[in-house]
Amino acid sequence: MIPNLATHWEIEDDGRTFTFHLRRGVRWSDGHPFTSEDILFWYELFYDKYDWQNRALPALTAWVISRPPPGSPVTFRRNPYYWKVDSEGNQLPYIDEVGFHIFDNEIIALRVLQGGVGMQGRHISLANLPLLMEHRREGGYQVRTWEDSGGGALVLAPNLNHRDPVMAGILNDRRFRIALSTGVDRDTLNRAGFFDLGTPRQVAPPPASAFYSPEYESAHLEHDPAEANRILDGMGLEQRNKHGIRLRPDGRPLRLRIETTQGGRNHQMLQLVADDWQNLGIDAEVRRHARQLFTHRVSARMHDVAVWSAADTFFPLIGPGWFFPFDAHSYHAADWGRWFQTHGSEGQEPPPLIRRCMDLYREIEYEIDPERRIEMFREIIELNRENLWVIGTIGDLPQIHIVSDTFRNVPSRAMAGWIIRTPDNTAPECYAIDPGGPDLPRTAGASRWNPHGITPGTSVRPAQ
């Protein structure tokens, strides 16, 4: 964390008192001064009126909403009172207007190839990388590959709160989860889906993180079907039907539905996972749902194994959901997450090891020593290594961002993630567009426009 609207701050009284010093001269987008009174307002009915689609809502951001949905394109215009300037005193942002069209993934890819996108990061599939690279010149764009701050793609989350008590008992046995992990051929996944650009890994913080654990990252990754079969036999799942499918303790076939919202290449890769588990005697199949239905099924504990990407494990204190059930959207244990968020008034009370993770996190929330916070969370990570509550596949994947040749000041290297709100962490207010580019929105370029005489609050040098 670095100063922005606050120039500096002090933490006193053993972490009970925080004093923030705000920049002078900052104004909201409607021209009113930004003061500590606004913080008080936020704290006391703010959420009654807060909606990013509300055009009457003043903002401190570089752009403010001018055409909300269902208008198309959704449009944001320059904040005339934005408080940052560049090193020469030119008011930011450089770009006057930003527009968003809503398309499905296939149309997004087509528009990129046709040169119809200024900049795009979300929903750009790594599977399209060769095609995107091949058509850069005629499409008039560059392909930027930014570092991923997450724990990897295609995370397999067994439902530990399964409605079926027999299935819940199987999934809650750590031996079963370890068998599932060692049964996956990650090298084949990496070649087939990611051009060998990724790294087989569990859902651990990446190496650049202060919370990095090489032991958890590499736990139970080796593809060893013989060992996986031995583990399953040792669990009492050695009996099979005439089709070679293992039988549950109640005599029913052992079946796992791998549920996802993802199609295309990701769906094909999950089919490889299903094939690997079929080879262990598990009747595994991939099912794709619309996102709303998928979310409902996870929250209602109706799935066997849910699949999602692990975003932002770099900062697990901010987003700890992959390390213990944090809320009702926790893919591997929605009811334990409900219990945590409601302090026990809803959901199911989790078993002792999950409780230990939750208790540690509650302690971390009150710990003011940053080194002690890291130490405490590492105990949570170690419990994940021992129990493998979620199963990772491939990580360290480049995050693709398409940038038009007409764009300026977009960094060639950056870290990408959900919690850090990429590309917001790369200072988009410093982006500029070459006015000579065809069919592009009007831009201020290197304008010296600063009509309101705002005292420069900071000096921002455009990224090179």
Phi, psi of 225 (to 5 degrees): -60, -35
Region of 461 please: left (phi>0), alpha (psi -120 to 50) or beta. beta
- Number of helical (H) and strand (E) elements in the chain, helices listed first: 14, 19
The pLDDT assigned to 212 comes to 95
Residue 267 domain-assigned? yes
Tokens (6 digits) for 284:
């595994």
For the segment 417-464, what is each residue's pLDDT rounded down to a tens digit? 888 889 988 999 999 998 665 443 333 333 332 333 333 333 333 332
Answer yes or no: do 253 and 371 share one domain.
Answer: yes
Q: What CA–CA distance (Å, rounded) separates 36 from 22?
A: 8
| 319: in domain | yes
Residue 143 inside a domain? The answer is no
Statement: residue 264 has pLDDT above 60: yes
In a domain, 404, yes or no: no
Same domain? 323 vs 233: yes
Q: Are 177 and 158 in contact (CB under 8 A)?
A: yes
- Dump strand ranges (E) for 268-358: 283-288, 305-310
Looking up residue 232, the CATH number of its domain turns out to be: 3.10.105.10
Classify residue 414: in a domain, yes or no: no
pLDDT at 251: 97
CB 420 within 8 A of CB 451: no
Residue 343's region, left for phi above 0, alpha for psi from -120 to 50, else beta, is left
Q: Please check whether residues 251 and 292 belong to one and the same domain.
A: yes
Q: Are residues 340 and 445 in the same domain?
A: no
Q: Which residues contact 421 (CB under 8 A, 6 or more apart)?
A: none
In a 13 Å sphere around the CA of 374, the CA atoms on its Cβ side amount to 10
Kindly write down the DSSP assignment for every residue of 135-183, as one continuous string: THHHHTEEEEEEEE-SSEEEEEEE-TT-SSHHHHHHHT-HHHHHHHHHT
Give CA separation, 449 vs 26, 372, 421, 446, in Å: 17, 47, 28, 9
Q: What is the mean pLDDT of the chain?
A: 90
Q: Do 104 and 242 belong to one domain?
A: no
Report which of residues 213 and 126 the model is more confident about. 213
217: containing domain: 152-395
Q: Are residues 187 and 312 in the same domain?
A: yes
301 shares its domain with 172: yes
Instruction: Take residue 282 and report the two structure tokens written for it.
Output: 């598990």
Mean pLDDT of 17-40: 93
Task: Show Cβ contacts of residue 133 under 8 Å, excluding neighbours closer than 6 positions.
Answer: 143
Token pair belonging to 430: 């410093």
390 and 441 assigned to the same domain: no
Residue 39 shares a structural domain with residue 174: no
Same domain, 68 and 112: yes
Is the residue at 322 inside a domain?
Answer: yes
Is 406 part of any domain? no
In angstroms, rounded to a whole number, what is the distance separating the alpha carbons of residues 378 and 331? 22
pLDDT, mean of residues 183-202 = 94
Q: Looking at the structure, do residues 227 and 319 belong to the same domain, yes or no?
A: yes
Summarize pLDDT for 118-152 with one digit per residue, the tens: 999 988 888 889 999 999 999 999 999 998 888 88
Q: Name which residue leads in pLDDT, 277 or 455.
A: 277
Which pLDDT belongs to residue 437? 52
User: How many structural domains compose the chain?
Assistant: 2
Q: Give the tens place of pLDDT for each residue, 147-181.
A: 888 888 899 999 999 999 999 999 999 999 999 99
Which of 231, 198, 204, 261 minimizes the C-alpha distance to 389? 204
Backbone angles phi, psi at 63, to 5 degrees: -125, 150
| Cβ atoms of 395 and 372 closer than 8 Å | no
Residue 140 lies in a domain: no
